[in-house]
């Protein structure tokens, strides 16, 4: 919410409060129930120290201290108890200041029942002001949360769109089709199997990634089919080492959180004759899922930079949206190897 609107709400509240308080003070002063020693100056001073000051302190104690501290915990009773003590305490403090430094003779004339009645009435209205402070702060907080959620949703949609565009990589598609076309002449049955895997991948990317979460087993199946299609391009059976530790059964994950790192590993691993040039490990633990992806780098080339895919910054932002405070991503380049470690708490 804009600060100008918040300021207008505060000004409006205090205008109404002062108007009502002045009407009540005028009614009391005109009723003839006050002593002759109590003049307009005494009333104005008493109004400031015993009415206005406690009201301001109580209102902003609720607004700035009690709401942020106790509202999220839903400890409303404790908040109003503390607010009531603050209201009574500041009213008594104002009364003490008035009697000590300004008009001790006027204060001495007030009897105990009248004093208790006055403190009770002022404290009650101050608590009502605290309720207003809660409402104002609650409305402001709710409005800000709505704006933040809308902004995050828009960013998430934009990132999801970029993610889908990245996954529909035409180079991967064309290369795979060409490889299958060559394989048809050698082994039609194997070529048919790879074509079915490619069809499953396309179906997965186009239809199954639209939900917020999918079964982890589906994500693992996609990774396995993707790796199998990439391995068509080399006769080296040990080119990729993929290991699954634990069972993904019954677990869910946001779609396509691991595949961007695996895609980048294949894009930036040039020597397909090296044994275990790409090492991928997916570990399913009781309350988390860990992925480790390591790929060999050509020392003569620059470190991986996303071209036509998702950059690390975009991937990080997407993870922050999907798993705020529930993930840890570590990326490092050492000894001609590119390491990615991702831990997601599920």
Beta strands 278-284; 240-245: pairing state: parallel
Which of the four pLDDT bands, split at 50, 70 and 90, describes residue 157? Answer: low
Distance CA 141, CA 144 (A): 5
Q: Quick check: 52 pLDDT over 60?
A: yes
- Does the pLDDT value for residue 309 go beyond 50? no
The pLDDT assigned to 123 comes to 80
* Exposed/middle/buried for residue 316 (C-beta within 10 Å: 0-12, 13-18, 19+): middle
- Is the pTM higher than 0.75? The answer reads no
Of residues 119 and 217, more confidently modeled: 217
Per-residue pLDDT reduced to its tens digit, 192-221? 887 888 887 777 776 666 778 889 998 999
Percent of the chain with pLDDT over 90: 15
Average pLDDT, the chain: 78
Instruction: Report the pLDDT value the prediction gives residue 95, as an integer from 0 to 100.
Output: 77
Statement: residue 316 has pLDDT above 80: yes
Give the single-character DSSP code of 292.
E
Sort strands 327-334 and 214-215 into parallel, antiparallel or unpaired. unpaired
- Residue with tokens 């009723």, as numbered in its chain: 31
Among 96-110, 130-144, 156-170, 217-231, the range scoring the smallest mean pLDDT is: 156-170
Q: Distance between CA atoms of 238 and 51, rounded to whole angstroms?
A: 82
Give the integer Cα–Cα distance in Å for 271 and 58. Answer: 71
Residue of 134, 102, 132 whose CA lies nearest to 16: 132
pLDDT cut 70: percent of the chain above it:
79
- Per-residue pLDDT, averaged over 50-67, amounts to 83
Is the pLDDT confidence value at 104 over 80? no
Q: What is the pLDDT of residues 134-146, one digit of tens each?
A: 888 887 777 777 7
What pLDDT is attached to residue 307?
Answer: 42
Tens of pLDDT, residue by residue over 284-305, are 999 999 999 999 887 665 554 4
Of 140, 287, 156, give the one whose Cα is nearest residue 210: 156
Average pLDDT over residues 24-28: 67
Q: Is the pLDDT of residue 34 over 60?
A: no
- pLDDT value at 277 more than 60: yes
Burial 210-244 (b: 16+ CB within 10 A, else e): eeeebbbbbbbbbbebbbbbbbbeeeeeebbebee
153 pLDDT above the threshold of 90? no
């Amino acid at each position: 919410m804009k600060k100008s609107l918040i300021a207008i709400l505060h000004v409006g509240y205090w205008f109404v409060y002062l108007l009502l308080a002045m009407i009540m003070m005028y009614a009391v002063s005109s009723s003839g129930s006050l002593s002759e020693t109590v003049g307009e100056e005494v009333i104005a001073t008493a109004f400031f120290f015993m009415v206005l000051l406690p009201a301001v302190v109580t209102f902003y104690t609720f607004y700035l201290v009690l709401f942020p501290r106790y509202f999220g915990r839903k400890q409303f009773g404790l908040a109003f108890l503390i607010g009531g003590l603050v209201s009574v305490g500041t009213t008594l403090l104002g009364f003490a200041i008035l009697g000590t430094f300004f008009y001790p003779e006027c204060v001495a004339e007030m009897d105990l029942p009248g004093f208790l009645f006055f403190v009770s009435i002022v404290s009650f209205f101050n608590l009502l002001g605290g309720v207003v402070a809660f409402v104002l702060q609650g409305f402001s907080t709710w409005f800000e949360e709505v704006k933040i959620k809308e902004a995050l949703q828009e960013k998430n949609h934009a990132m999801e769109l970029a993610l889908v565009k990245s996954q529909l990589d035409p180079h991967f598609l064309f290369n795979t089709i060409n490889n299958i076309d060559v394989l048809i002449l050698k082994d039609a049955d194997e070529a048919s199997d790879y074509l079915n895997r490619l069809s499953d991948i396309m179906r997965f990317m186009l239809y199954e990634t639209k939900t917020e979460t999918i079964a982890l087993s589906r994500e693992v199946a996609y990774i396995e089919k993707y790796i199998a299609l990439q391995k068509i391009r080399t006769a080296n059976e040990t080119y990729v080492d993929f290991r699954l530790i634990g069972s993904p059964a019954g677990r869910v994950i946001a779609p396509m959180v691991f595949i961007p790192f695996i895609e980048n590993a294949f894009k930036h691993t040039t020597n397909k004759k090296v044994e275990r040039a790409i090492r991928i490990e997916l570990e399913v633990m009781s309350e988390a899922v860990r992925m480790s992806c390591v790929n060999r780098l050509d020392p003569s080339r620059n470190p991986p930079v996303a071209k036509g895919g998702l950059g690390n910054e975009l991937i990080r932002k997407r993870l922050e949206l999907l798993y705020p405070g529930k993930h840890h991503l570590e990326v490092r380049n050492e000894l001609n190897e590119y390491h990615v470690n991702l831990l997601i708490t599920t």
